[in-house]
Amino acid sequence: MTAAEAETTAPTAEWVRIEDLYENPYPIYRRLREESPVAWVPAVGRYLVTSFEACHRIEQDAETFSANEEGSLMKRSMGHSMLRKDDPDHQTDRAAYGPVLRPKAIKETWTAAFEKNAEKYLEEFRAKGPGADLHLGFAAPFAAENLREIMGFRNAAQEDLQRWSQTMIDGTGNYADDPEVWAKAAASSAEVDAAIDELVPVLKAEPDASLLSAVVNAGMPIEAIRANMKMTIGGGLNEPRDVLGTAVWALLSHSDQLAQVLAEPALWATAFEEAVRWVAPIGMYPRQTTREVEIGGATLPAGARLGVVLGAANRDPEQFENPEAFDINREKKPHLAFGGGAHFCAGTWVARTSVAQVALPKLFAGLPGLRLTDRPAREGGWVFRGMLELPVAWN
C-alpha cells in the first residue's frame, strides 16, 4: 500500500485471496458488501467496490473516478485503448466505432453473418455427438468468427482470435504478475500488430464495412488503432461467448424457466439479460480517484486505485431481490454488466443480437432435448468470468 492509500478510512481485507476469487468470488463479494462496500484488498493492490450504488456512482462521475489508471494492466497487455481514456480522448476514439456497431448496422449488415455462423458451428458441434463441450465446441468459435468478420481480420482465422483474446485478457487480469502470462500476452499483441499493419494499406485502398476499415479511414493514429483493436478482441469475444454459455447452463439447470422461454420466444432476450446480470462476463474494471472522495462509507485519497466489481454490484440485495438466484421472472431493474456512463459497452448490441436473437434459439431448436450430462459444468474467473466446461447431451 502506498502512503497515499494508507490515508483512508476503508478497512483492509487481508483474507481475500486471488485463487478464491477465481474459483468462486460470490461469497467473498457478499462478505465485502456486508462488512464494507469499499475495502482495500492487498492481494489485488486496490480497493474493491462491491455495492451497486457505489459502482453506479463511479460510472457516472468520470471527473472523480478516472479510467486512465496509472500502471494499468490493460495498457501493459493491450496498449492505451479508449477503455483507459477519459473524455474527450475516449470519445474521439469511440466515434469511429459508432457506424459499425449501432443497432441499424447490426440489423442490416451483421445479423445475417451471425445466422450463417450459428448454422455452421451448430452443424460442427452436432457432429461431435452428445457429451461434447458446448463452451469450446460452439460458444467460443461462434463468438470468435462473428468478431473476426465484424473487425475485418481477413488475414486471420477464428482460432487466432480465440488465442489472442484469451492471452491478452489473461494479461489484463494478471494481478498475480505471472511472467508466463505476460509473455503469452506480448506474443499475441505482436501478432495482432502484424495483422493490422498488413491490412491498413489494403483497407485504405478498398474500404469495407468492417470495424478495422472504419478506424483506419477515420484517420485514427496507428497506435490507437492497435490498442483499440486489441481491446475489442478481448471484450468482443469474451462477453458474447461467456454469456451464451452461462445462459445455456442456467436454463438447463432451471427446467421450469426453460419451458417458459421455449413457449414464449420473446423471453430469449429476458433470459440473456438475466444471465448477464447473474454472472457478469466482465466482472471487474479499474478506476483511479482524481481527488479525495467519500464513497461507500469510506474516505479515499487522490490517486487511489479502485476495482469496480460489476460481478458484485449485480448481486447486491439492495438492488435485486434474491440476487444469487437465476430468475427470468424477477422484477425488471437495470444491471451494470455492460458498464455505464461514457464507457457503456460499445458491443452491447452485438452480444444481444448474436446471443439472444440468434444463437440461443438455434441451439435449442437444433439440439432437441438439450440437457446437462453427469459430467459437471465448470465456471471460473473474477476479472472475467464464464464457463470453462459445459458438457451437454441431446436426443
Residue 18 confidence (pLDDT): 95
Give the side-chain half-sphere CA count within 13 A for 345: 25
378 within 8 A of 389, measured Cβ to Cβ? yes
Domain ranges of the chain: 3-393
Report d(CA 5, CA 39) in Å as an integer.
Answer: 11
Residue 283 backbone phi and psi in degrees, to 5: -85, -20
How far from each other are the two terminal CA atoms of the chain, in whole angstroms? Answer: 56
Which residues does residue 133 pair with via DSSP β-bridges, in sequence order?
A: 391
pLDDT digits (tens, 9 = 90+) for 311-359: 999 999 999 999 999 999 999 999 999 988 777 787 889 999 999 999 9
47 within 8 A of 307, measured Cβ to Cβ? yes
Average pLDDT over residues 99-110: 92
pLDDT digits (tens, 9 = 90+) for 247-302: 999 999 999 999 999 999 999 999 999 999 999 999 999 999 999 999 999 999 99
Residue 139 has pLDDT above 50, yes or no: yes
Residue 5 confidence (pLDDT): 47
Task: Say if strands 392-393 and 371-372 run parallel, antiparallel, or are unpaired.
Answer: antiparallel
Residue 98 confidence (pLDDT): 82
Q: Does 88 sit behind a cis peptide bond, omega within 30 degrees of 0 on the bond before it? A: yes
The better pLDDT of the pair 24, 234 is held by 24
Give how far Cα 376 sits from Cα of 50, 343, 389, 391, Å: 29, 36, 8, 7
CATH number at 3-393: 1.10.630.10
288 within 8 A of 304, measured Cβ to Cβ? yes
% pLDDT > 90, the chain: 84
One-letter amino acid at 126 equals: R
Query: H/E element holding 164?
Result: helix 158-172
11 within 8 A of 40, measured Cβ to Cβ? yes
What's the chain's length in residues? 395
Which residues does residue 295 pair with via DSSP β-bridges, in sequence order?
A: 298
Report d(CA 104, CA 168) in Å as an integer.
Answer: 30
**150: pLDDT confidence band, cut at 50, 70 and 90?**
very high
Average pLDDT over residues 242-251: 98
Residue 8 has pLDDT above 80, yes or no: yes
Please provide the average confidence, as pLDDT, over all residues in the chain.
94
Residue 234 confidence (pLDDT): 87
Report d(CA 47, CA 305) in Å as an integer.
Answer: 6
One-letter amino acid at 123 equals: E
Residue 43 confidence (pLDDT): 95
Average pLDDT over residues 135-150: 97
Report d(CA 358, CA 8) in Å as an integer.
Answer: 48
Residue 3 has pLDDT above 80, yes or no: no
pLDDT digits (tens, 9 = 90+) for 195-227: 999 999 999 999 999 999 999 999 999 999 999
pTM: 0.93
Residue 250 confidence (pLDDT): 98
Residue 4 has pLDDT above 80, yes or no: no
Residue 152 confidence (pLDDT): 97
**176: pLDDT confidence band, cut at 50, 70 and 90?**
confident
One-letter amino acid at 366 equals: G
pLDDT digits (tens, 9 = 90+) for 50-77: 999 999 999 999 999 999 999 888 889 9
